Amino acid sequence: MKILFFALIVKPVVLIVLGINLRNREKLPMSGPAIIVANHNSHLDTLVLMSLYPLSMIHKVRPVAAADYFLGNGGFLAWLSLVCIGIIGMDRSGKSGKEGLFKGCHQALDNNDILILFPEGSRGKPEEMSALKKGVYFIVKDRPHIPVTPVMMHGLGRSLPKGEVLLVPFNCDVVVGNSVPVTDNSSSYVDAISEQFKQLSQYCLTKSDTAEESL
């Protein structure tokens, strides 16, 4: 079902309706365990990131999302999230503690999956970044061998911003950065990821001569 969903719906929308300019594809992790951290402006973010992978790998790419929003009420959204997208639900209530909060992430990494995390925590205003949370540090601090790769997306907040349901075609940039090695503490690690995002955003804003690959 997941392969059909991406083959028949997601990839055609991303490739034909939106159009993605991808930079540094070679830096995208193509095997797990690995983690992608990306900025978050739109519900399209997850689908675009997953569409960068061939269909044969889709089952190994696992986005992390809020369990209360996507799974809490059951029904179609929960079915879509679990069966067609394969999310890892994260309990944001604070009842499970750090060990329980990241349990699904660790299980996926043990299964050699590629996680997609949005360290801002929730969608922000179009093309604006919020402060990053420290969750990714607590996932990788005891797994320093796992690459954490920042990806900056620009334009998706205009295609489908928070609170909107109508998709507006808008050409989007996706820039893949260098993996960020684990540091000694959570604050310095988050600062290192934030700095990478700032650098990657310049590719989108300046439209430099860096080679592009249109998907």
pLDDT, tens digit (0-9, with 9 covering 90-100), for 27-58: 999 999 999 999 988 878 899 999 999 999 99
Greatest CA span in the chain, whole angstroms? Answer: 49
Judging by DSSP bridges, how do beta strands 20-23 and 213-214 pair with one another?
antiparallel
Q: Determine the pLDDT at residue 30.
A: 96
- Element spanning 117, H or E: strand 114-117
CATH topology of domain 18-209: Glycerol-3-phosphate (1)-acyltransferase (3.40.1130)
- Distance, CA of 12 to CA of 51 (rounded, Å): 10
What is the DSSP annotation of 57-70? GGGGEEEEEEHHHH
- Report the predicted TM-score, pTM, of the whole model to 2 decimal places: 0.88
Where the chain has pLDDT below 70, the residues are: 93-98, 122-127, 157-170, 205-215
- Distance, CA of 45 to CA of 18 (rounded, Å): 12
